[in-house]
């Protein structure tokens, strides 16, 4: 794995509205109101309406989107645009079965899962049992690692299965919505309170894994299209609606080797920028000379 990745500094700098909501006492009171399901549903109604189409061009310009990478079509709403499909030629999907490829676009960090069932995410410590809503399930991943893909507005918001295998279990866990911006992760236990979906998969090459999709502020809806049966490498698992999003992969001990550069970047407070299909590691036995 000699490839050089691009990186992004993990920063606490955010726009004034996020600072107000997460750091100002009045803002935190307001946040408790706007993250409740009735208001997130109301926001969803607007984003799914034709009235929201005016947001599209501003969003493209602000985030520097390369629209030539996406299938051309006429969008009926902002959410329709946000869920846009990418052209097959816009991402390189590595077919080596021993390689671990990214399930989505994202800014990646990796953390060991400690004996205490916790791991750190951007200065905050999270209990794996809370994340999975299961103490017994969390115990199976002790000594493994958590690979976190934080999607940002410039990313393609669909995600895929990393390997062929069988879906063992799937669970929806209700929660409130917080942004996945670093300021919220620093202030709140984001990954243990947000709505999320947990899928346990017995894979052919990486053992039993967990793939978790985490919703985010305002809408952040998770749309999984397959929750049972068999899955294939690079088969679409689902997508996120507008609101920001995160995909987390959990691997058991001695199953994978994550690219050392990603470990070093994480230790240096850097996120590693990857695209769907990009190789981020290998299964353990493939790593031995």
Could you list the mean pLDDT of each consecutive 10-residue stretch along the chain, which spans 289 residues?
A: 66 52 57 60 83 94 94 94 94 92 96 72 62 88 93 93 98 68 52 78 97 73 94 96 85 96 94 96 71
Residue 73 covered by a domain: no
Residue 255 covered by a domain: yes
Residue 209 covered by a domain: yes
Residue 256 covered by a domain: yes
Q: Within 10 A of 168 (CB to CB), how many other CB atoms are there?
A: 13
Burial class (CB in 10 A: 0-12, 13-18, 19+), 133: middle
CA distances from 61 to 57, 64, 65, 154, 244 (A): 6, 5, 7, 10, 18
Helix (H) or strand (E) holding 186: helix 182-187
Backbone angles phi, psi at 271, to 5 degrees: -90, 145
Quick one: DSSP state of residue 124?
E
Q: Which two tokens stand for residue 204?
A: 């052919």
Residue 231 covered by a domain: yes
Closest CA to 284 of 207, 210, 201: 207
Q: Which two tokens stand for residue 113?
A: 């899962």
- Give the pLDDT confidence score for residue 129 in this predicted structure: 85
Total length of the chain: 289
Residue 219 covered by a domain: yes
Residue 147 covered by a domain: yes
> Domain range for residue 172?
91-287
Annotated active-site positions, please?
Answer: 105, 245
- Give the pLDDT confidence score for residue 78 in this predicted structure: 93
Domain count within the chain: 1
- Chain CA centroid to CA 67, Å: 22
Residue 24 covered by a domain: no
Q: Which two tokens stand for residue 167?
A: 């879906």
Helix (H) or strand (E) holding 66: none
Burial class (CB in 10 A: 0-12, 13-18, 19+), 61: exposed
- Give the pLDDT confidence score for residue 13 in this predicted structure: 45
Q: Which two tokens stand for residue 272?
A: 């590693």
Helix (H) or strand (E) holding 22: helix 16-23
Query: Residue 176 and residue 205: Cα distance in Å, rounded?
Result: 35
């Amino acid at each position: 794995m000699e490839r050089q990745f691009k990186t992004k500094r993990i920063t606490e700098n955010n726009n004034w509205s996020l600072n107000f909501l997460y750091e100002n006492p009045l803002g935190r009171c307001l946040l408790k109101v706007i993250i409740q399901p009735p208001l997130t549903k109301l926001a969803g109604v607007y984003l799914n309406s034709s009235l929201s189409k005016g947001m599209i061009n501003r969003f493209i310009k602000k985030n520097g989107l390369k629209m030539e990478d996406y299938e051309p079509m006429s969008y009926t709403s902002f959410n329709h645009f946000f869920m846009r499909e990418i052209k097959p030629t816009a991402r390189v999907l590595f077919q080596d079965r021993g390689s671990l490829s990214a399930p989505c676009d994202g800014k990646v960090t990796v953390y060991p899962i400690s004996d205490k069932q916790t791991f750190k995410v951007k200065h905050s410590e999270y209990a794996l049992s809370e994340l999975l809503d299961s103490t017994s399930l969390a115990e199976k991943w002790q000594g493994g690692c958590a690979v976190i893909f934080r999607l940002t507005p410039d990313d393609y918001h669909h995600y895929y299965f990393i390997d062929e295998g069988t879906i063992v279990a799937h669970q929806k866990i209700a929660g409130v919505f917080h942004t996945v911006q670093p300021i919220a992760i620093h202030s709140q236990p984001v990954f243990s309170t947000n709505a999320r979906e947990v899928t346990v998969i017995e894979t052919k090459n990486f053992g039993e894994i967990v793939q978790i999709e985490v919703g985010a502020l305002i809408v952040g809806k998770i749309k999984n299209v397959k929750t049972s049966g068999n899955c294939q490498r690079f088969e679409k698992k689902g997508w996120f609606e507008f609101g920001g999003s995160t995909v987390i992969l959990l691997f058991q001990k001695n199953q994978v080797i994550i690219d050392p550069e990603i470990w070093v970047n994480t230790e240096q407070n850097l996120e590693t920028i990857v695209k769907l299909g990009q190789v981020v590691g290998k299964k353990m036995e493939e790593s031995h000379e």
